[in-house]
């Protein structure tokens, strides 16, 4: 199996003015593409070749196979990040996810404050996630390539806080980048779909 660079779910200029076509093009066609290329080189001739990407991440993490794990996780994380954004977003969730945000965080505004605090205070490179963990939702930050796929939790949404994700547009103002994501880009329908799938799996296990 050769892992492929996933297609963006929108045009490169679709997220403007919040993320420029220049930033998205560089991020996708350079950084994301490089992770996929390095992953294919790292797994060539190994048992990982015939695994799904999620399986590669989990197996290489357990074996502390860092070259494979880092590139596999970054390839997956970036695809999840592209899907976590929607050019038509109004920044407001609905349905059961909105209800859970009210219960867990005290409402959308408080969720945004807590998510922003987590993303802005993350030292160095990494990701900020909204996850489902049993009956609860939680905001977590991971370093470098790490993701919730190596835990028993389910990711619903993520924000890339590596500097290359925002520096061309916002320089060192990560907080403005986070505000743009939360207010104008976050794909709540994508998060709701993952929450629905998570809850379906839980019901089937009962």
| The 3-state secondary structure of 115-168, one letter per residue | HHHHHHHCCCCEEEEEEEECCEEEEEEEECCCCHHHCCCEEEEEEECCHHHCHH
Which tokens sit at 177? 């980048």
Domains of the chain: 21-83 (1.10.287.990), 95-205 (3.55.40.20)
> Residue 159: its pLDDT value, please?
98
Secondary-structure breakdown of the chain: helix, strand, coil percentages, each rounded to the nearest 5: 60, 10, 30
Which tokens sit at 27? 């991020």
What does pTM read for this prediction? 0.95
> Residue 197: its pLDDT value, please?
87
> Residue 180: its pLDDT value, please?
97
For the chain (206 residues), the mean pLDDT of every run of 10, in chain order, is 93 98 97 98 94 97 96 98 96 92 95 97 94 94 95 96 96 97 97 90 71
d(CA 26, CA 12): 10
Q: With CA atoms as reference, report the closest residue to 84 among 17, 129, 115.
A: 129
Residue pair 40/114 in contact by the 8 Å Cβ criterion: no
> Residue 203: its pLDDT value, please?
75
């Amino acid at each position: 199996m050769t892992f492929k660079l996933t297609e963006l779910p929108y045009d490169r200029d679709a997220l403007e003015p919040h993320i420029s076509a220049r930033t998205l093009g560089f991020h996708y066609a350079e950084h994301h593409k490089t992770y996929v290329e390095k992953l294919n080189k790292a797994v060539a001739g190994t048992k990982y070749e015939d695994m799904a990407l999620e399986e590669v991440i989990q197996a290489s993490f357990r074996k502390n196979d860092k070259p494979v794990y880092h590139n596999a996780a970054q390839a997956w994380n970036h695809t999840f990040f592209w899907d976590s954004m929607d050019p038509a977003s109004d920044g407001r969730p609905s349905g059961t996810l909105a209800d859970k945000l009210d219960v867990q965080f005290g409402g959308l505004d408080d969720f945004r404050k807590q998510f922003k605090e987590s993303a802005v205070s993350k030292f160095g490179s990494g990701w900020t996630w909204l996850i489902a963990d049993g009956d609860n939702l939680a905001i977590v930050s991971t370093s470098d390539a790490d993701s919730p796929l190596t835990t028993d939790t389910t990711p619903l949404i993520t924000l890339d806080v590596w500097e290359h994700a925002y520096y061309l547009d916002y320089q060192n103002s990560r907080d403005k980048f986070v505000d743009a994501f939360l207010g104008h880009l976050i794909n709540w329908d994508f998060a709701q779909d993952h929450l629905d799938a998570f809850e379906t799996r839980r019901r089937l296990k009962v």
